[in-house]
Amino acid sequence: MIEAEDFVPTEPHTTVAQTAHTGARARIILALDVPSLDAARDLVARVGREIGALKVGKELFTACGPEAVHAWRNLGLPVFLDLKFHDIPNTVAAAVRAAGGLGARWLSLHTSGGADMLTAAARARDALPEPRPLLLGVTVLTSLGDTDPEEVVERALLAQRCGLDGAIASPQEVARIRAACGADFLIVTPGVRPAGSSAGDQRRVATPHDAIRDGADLLVIGRPIAAATDPAAAARAIAAEVAIALAERTRTATTASATVATRLVRMLEESQALLSGHFLLSSGLHSDRYVQCAKLLQHPQYARRAGMWLGEKLRVHQPEVVLGVALGGLVIGQETAAALGIPALFVERDANGAMALRRGFALAPGTRVVVVDDVCTRGGSFAEAITVARAHGAEVVAAGAIIDRSGGQHPLEVPLDALLEVRAEAYPAGDCPQCAAGTAAVKPGSRPQSRA
């Protein structure tokens, strides 16, 4: 028989190290991924007081029902009921109300169920008597390897907007979610594996130390503890890692936020699209920095994310068509149009080098158009595209770009909405200090020097 005294907190006369260990073990949720209540009791007895909470998932709950939650009341251990609710809003709200009566501390539900489902769950939670369970939105399962980390962040933000208390995500996305959602948003992290442990069927994993250091609040850990020869010793070792990471996190705490601009910079850096050196721009100017957006856009997940962000910026102008500027604006124009749910056309240079609508494209008079390119340096290509659109009788309501490096010195007569402003020195060839120093300029773009 397991008794509550097996889990009594450390006595008052404790060392600093013991106190740190107590705080660290409270972060560990032991996953009871076993087929019976007897097996669960045996595992909990072997682990002792080295963990802070218990997770009841689909296997144990299906086998034992509500007793899988009730069995731990005398131990004083909170329970995470991880059933990942995902259904129509009314059904999920009813499930939250029913689960609220079981006494679980946390409940999980899939963010892929959408805003209406998540909001219904939050309202059902708010109607419950205290103490109410905390709702956690499952972002992307840790068993899925090829995952866009920004998609995980977006799902966490959706959960937050809909009133959920936190999100469940792999340790590889924790830092991004913490920056995006703030200090008060609960992050629960599965896929945690001590160094040297087998990943099993998990794909996006990290050590307990790294997950906590990056901002996780709670770690859900199953096999590294349950399959160990000495589960209590395995849990103690993990708690020791957590204690070190908590101390490091306290010393390096930051208030950095994850705006769209900072998230885009991370994507640019990860795709090696931000370059430093001596560059000849398409405008004819020389610069010490160059943004090669093609390297960003070669990754479909980054292109889709940038298009979604730019679409949200441009939505206020109520466009009916996105007009991309070939070549740089082809991909981002298509993705922006997809985000807005409107057609994507593009202008390109004809045999004489002039911008034109070709390939059978046409704009009806009065059509509300946004012109999109990857980068605005001096705005020449934008201006040409705007002229083409107006020649067809269209109304150009705005321009959009991933990067604005014009410093506000562009000739456009419409608003320019960009995801990121990049400040970089740009000089005529005769005034370029790198040319004066004898450094050769590199032309990294896709076309020769032009009027743009």
Q: Is 298 helix (H, G, I), strand (E, B) or coil?
A: coil
Question: How far lies 421's CA from each of 24, 153, 326, 347, 404, in Å?
Answer: 42, 22, 21, 24, 5
- 84 is annotated as an active-site residue: yes
* pTM of the full structure: 0.72
Alpha-carbon distance of 222 to 80, in angstroms, equals 13
Alpha-carbon distance of 345 to 220, in angstroms, equals 48
Neighbouring C-beta atoms of residue 252, cutoff 10 Å: 8
- Catalytic one among 58, 84, 295, 313? 84
Does a structural domain hold residue 445?
no
Does a structural domain hold residue 287?
yes
Instruction: Tell me: do 35 and 150 sit in the same domain.
Output: yes
Instruction: Tell me: do 118 and 62 sit in the same domain.
Output: yes
Does a structural domain hold residue 444?
no
- Nearest Cα to 223, choosing from 234, 211, 208? 234
Instruction: Tell me: do 140 and 173 sit in the same domain.
Output: yes
- Tell me the pLDDT of the chain (452 aa) as tens digits: 333 333 333 333 444 444 455 689 999 999 999 999 999 999 999 998 899 999 999 999 999 999 999 999 888 899 999 999 999 999 999 999 999 999 999 999 999 999 999 999 999 999 999 999 999 999 988 877 677 888 999 999 999 999 999 999 998 899 999 989 998 999 999 888 786 565 555 556 678 899 899 899 999 998 899 989 999 999 999 999 999 989 887 655 555 566 888 889 889 988 988 877 787 776 777 877 777 899 999 999 899 999 999 999 999 999 999 999 999 999 999 999 999 999 999 999 999 999 999 999 999 999 999 999 999 988 999 999 999 999 999 999 999 999 998 887 888 989 999 999 987 667 787 778 778 877 887 776 555 444 43
* Helix ranges (DSSP H) in 191-280: 208-213, 223-226, 231-251, 260-270
CATH number of residue 432's parent domain: 3.40.50.2020
Does a structural domain hold residue 447?
no
State how many domains the chain has: 2
Alpha-carbon distance of 339 to 326, in angstroms, equals 19
Instruction: Tell me: do 47 and 185 sit in the same domain.
Output: yes
Q: 185 lies in which domain range?
A: 4-251
Alpha-carbon distance of 104 to 122, in angstroms, equals 15
Does a structural domain hold residue 194?
yes
Instruction: Tell me: do 237 and 321 sit in the same domain.
Output: no
Instruction: Tell me: do 266 and 244 sit in the same domain.
Output: no
Last residue of a domain, one of 221, 251, 281: 251
Last residue of a domain, one of 251, 272, 306: 251
Beta pairing, strands 355-357 & 368-376 = unpaired
Does a structural domain hold residue 449?
no
Residue partners of 255: CB distance under 8 A and separation at least 6: none
The CA-CA-CA angle for residues 281, 282, 283, to 5°, reads 85
Residue with tokens 């999920």: 92
Instruction: Tell me: do 316 and 233 sit in the same domain.
Output: no
H or E segment at 109?
strand 106-110
Neighbouring C-beta atoms of residue 204, cutoff 10 Å: 22
Read off the tokens for 353. 């080098």
Instruction: Tell me: do 145 and 290 sit in the same domain.
Output: no
Instruction: Tell me: do 412 and 311 sit in the same domain.
Output: yes
Does a structural domain hold residue 302?
yes
Read off the tokens for 12. 């008052």
Alpha-carbon distance of 426 to 283, in angstroms, equals 10
Instruction: Tell me: do 65 and 149 sit in the same domain.
Output: yes
* Dihedral over Cα of 270, 272, 276, 279: its sign: negative
Question: How far lies 398's CA from each of 15, 249, 307, 311, 321, in Å?
Answer: 63, 44, 15, 12, 11
Neighbouring C-beta atoms of residue 148, cutoff 10 Å: 17
Residue partners of 350: CB distance under 8 A and separation at least 6: 356, 358
H or E segment at 97?
helix 89-100
Instruction: Tell me: do 204 and 289 sit in the same domain.
Output: no
Does a structural domain hold residue 450?
no
Instruction: Tell me: do 40 and 187 sit in the same domain.
Output: yes
CATH number of residue 70's parent domain: 3.20.20.70
DSSP E strand stretches across 292-445: 321-325, 344-349, 355-357, 368-376, 395-404, 416-421, 426-427
Read off the tokens for 443. 């032309």
